[in-house]
């Protein structure tokens, strides 16, 4: 058997079901289409931030492809580890894009003087935390499915720690964004000379970031609860929860970035 031995305190198994072939194919096709649209948008706009979203969608494609493999052998170690790792870390690249957008929004709004810290430090702090989260979650997911019970237990705890860090980072990020918006609104009230178009653009950027951030945060909270409840709990035992609470919000997040195109506001501002 590929699963590690069980103990009275720890009941763990790779899968407690046969992964859905149809679900994996649909997930892979959705993110494949989104990745092609992202590539086309990047070639058109040449905004390199989109590369991170593209990398995230490629991780999602790989994750669902591995789940297809697991459908035919749900005790195979390699596809289980691959899908678990890629589906965990893929959204981190979406998060990195969101974090970088806040700094650019501050520059777009001309709000460096009201920002608590310089715009570039928002990017460095939050993207740095995102990289740490990626390493922690990737490490935890990669050792969870090993044959040793002690490593499986450790891997699950590491993943929980990584997800907790990711949720905390997102909460602080949203607080920072709201704080900047409040300060900026106060500044705008005292500066009637600023153009309506500029006001509209930075506000649009912030509301796009709030929308996408909410979807990613929702997914992260689900994943944290999923792992915290344990490998034998309802959320992991039932596959539909993955597609409803992970696949759906992540695909919607990419769709929002594609349709609303927050990068076009930054590109217009950079040309001025």
* Dihedral Cα 208, 209, 212, 218, nearest 10 deg: -140
* 272 in any annotated domain: no
End-to-end CA distance of the chain, in Å?
Answer: 63
Query: Quick check: is 269 in a domain?
Result: no
Mean pLDDT, the chain, rounded, equals 86
The share of the chain scoring above pLDDT 90, in percent, equals 47
Q: Evaluate whether residue 3 is within a structural domain.
A: no
d(CA 189, CA 172) in angstroms, rounded, equals 26
The predicted pLDDT at position 8 comes to 55
Q: Is 107 within the bounds of a domain?
A: yes
Q: Is 230 left (phi over 0), alpha (psi -120 to 50) or beta?
A: left
Note whether residue 182 is domain-resident: yes
Left (φ > 0), alpha (ψ -120 to 50) or beta: where does 115 sit? beta
pLDDT tens for 130-178 read 899 989 988 888 787 666 777 777 888 899 999 999 999 999 999 999 9
The answer to whether residue 265 is domain-embedded is no
At 196 the pLDDT is 46
Looking at the domain assignment, is residue 119 inside a domain? yes
Contacts (Cβ under 8 Å, ≥6 apart) of 127: 96, 99, 100
Domain of 168, CATH number, reads 1.20.1070.10
pTM, entire model: 0.88
User: Is residue 53 domain-resident?
Assistant: yes
Euclidean distance between CA atoms 25 and 103, whole angstroms: 37
């Amino acid at each position: 058997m590929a699963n590690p031995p069980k103990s009275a305190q720890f009941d763990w198994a790779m899968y407690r079901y046969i992964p859905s072939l149809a679900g994996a194919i649909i997930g892979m096709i959705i993110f494949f289409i989104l990745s092609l649209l992202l590539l086309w948008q990047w070639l058109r706009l040449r905004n390199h931030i989109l590369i991170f979203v593209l990398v995230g969608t490629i991780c999602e494609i790989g994750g669902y492809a591995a789940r297809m493999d697991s459908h035919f052998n749900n005790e195979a170690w390699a596809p289980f580890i691959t899908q678990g790792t890629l589906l965990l870390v893929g959204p981190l690249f979406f998060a990195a894009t969101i974090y970088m957008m806040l700094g650019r929004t501050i520059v777009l709004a001309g709000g460096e003087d009201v920002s608590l810290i310089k715009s570039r430090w928002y990017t460095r702090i939050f993207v740095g935390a995102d990289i740490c989260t990626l390493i922690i979650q990737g490490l935890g997911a990669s050792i969870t499915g090993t044959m040793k019970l002690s490593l499986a237990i450790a891997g699950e705890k590491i993943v929980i720690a990584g997800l907790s860090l990711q949720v905390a980072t997102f909460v602080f990020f949203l607080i920072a964004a709201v704080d900047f918006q409040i300060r900026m609104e106060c500044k705008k009230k005292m500066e009637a000379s600023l153009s309506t178009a500029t006001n509209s653009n930075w506000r649009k950027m912030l509301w796009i970031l709030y929308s996408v951030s909410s979807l990613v945060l929702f997914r992260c909270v689900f994943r944290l609860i999923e792992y915290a409840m344990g490998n034998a709990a309802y959320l992991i035992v039932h596959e539909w929860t993955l597609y409803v609470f992970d696949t759906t919000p992540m695909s919607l997040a990419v769709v929002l970035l594609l349709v609303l195109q927050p990068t076009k506001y930054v590109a217009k501002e950079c040309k001025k």
